[in-house]
Amino acid sequence: MSDEKKRFLLRLDQQLYDQLSQAADQENRSINAHIETILHKATQGDNFEQRQIIGQVINGAQINADNGLVTVTGIYYRYLISDNSPVEPTSRYAVVDAVGNILTLQKI
């Protein structure tokens, strides 16, 4: 793979930019590097969950801590919280990984 990088203009609304900026800060990356990582992961997915589920944002209300399941696009999955914190029903979570029927969620 070539080290040459292409440049292009990407227009984002302020809310999306702020969300990406916050996520990039949490990963100790620049926004550009964070977006590049997201795009790379999106193109490398080899299963339905990797292609369609990664990056989705869900409400904590979609997570059932009692039975250990989360509903994403009408499908039930088992889940892990990235920092092992308890589920907060009023918070929002991003799907950051999918292995089999287990999703890793990160509070945003």
Q: For position 37, what pLDDT does the model report? A: 84
Average pLDDT of every residue of the chain:
86
Q: For position 70, what pLDDT does the model report? A: 93
pLDDT-wise least confident of 4-8, 23-27, 47-51: 47-51
Which parts of 1-108 fold into alpha helices (H)? 14-26, 31-44, 48-52
Residues 16-40 pLDDT 10s: 999 999 999 988 889 998 898 888 7
Q: For position 93, what pLDDT does the model report? A: 95
Confidence at 46, pLDDT banded by 50, 70, 90: low
Calpha distance 8→39 (Å, rounded): 14
Q: For position 78, what pLDDT does the model report? A: 94
Residue 55 has pLDDT above 60, yes or no: yes
